Amino acid sequence: MRRIHALPPELVNQIAAGEVIERPASVVKELVENSIDAGARRVEVDIEDGGARLIRVRDDGGGIEPDDLPLAITSHATSKIASFDDLERVGTLGFRGEALPSIASVSRFALMSRTAGGDAAWRIEVDGGRPLLPKPAQHPVGTVVEVRDLFYNVPARRKFLRAERTEFGYIDELIKSIALARAEVEFRLANNGKPLRLLRPAHGEADIQRRIGDVLGGDFVERSLRVDHAGAGLRLHGWVGLPTASRSQADQQYFHVNGRLVRDRLVAHAVRQAYADVLFHGRHPAFVLFLELDPALVDVNVHPAKHEVRFRESRLVHDFLYRTLDEALSGTRAGSAVAAAP
Ligand code: ADP
Ligand code: MG
pLDDT tens track of the chain, all 342 residues?
799 999 998 999 999 999 899 999 999 999 999 999 999 999 999 999 999 999 999 999 999 999 999 999 999 999 999 999 999 999 999 999 999 999 999 999 999 999 999 989 999 999 877 899 999 999 999 999 999 999 999 999 999 999 999 999 999 999 999 999 999 999 999 999 999 999 999 998 889 999 999 999 888 999 999 999 999 899 999 999 999 999 999 999 999 999 999 999 999 999 999 999 999 989 999 999 999 999 999 999 888 888 889 999 999 999 999 999 999 999 887 654 444 444
Q: Whose CA is nearest to atom 10 of ligand 1?
A: 72
Q: What is the CATH number of domain 9-199?
A: 3.30.565.10
Q: Is residue 115 within 6 Å of ligand 1 at its C-beta?
A: no
Please indicate whether residue 100, judged by its CB atom, sits closer than 6 Å to ligand 1: yes
Interface confidence (ipTM) of the complex: 0.99
Domain ranges within the chain, ordered by starting residue: 9-199, 219-332
pTM tops 0.90, yes or no: yes
Say yes or no: CB of residue 97 within 6 Å of ligand 1.
yes
Residue 250 to residues 97, 105, 268, 282, 326, Cα–Cα distance (Å): 32, 34, 11, 10, 19
CATH 3.30.230.10 is the classification of domain 219-332: yes
Pocket mutation for ligand 1, best pick of 67, 78, 124, 145 (most atoms within 8 Å of C-beta): 78
CB 102 within 8 A of CB 145: no
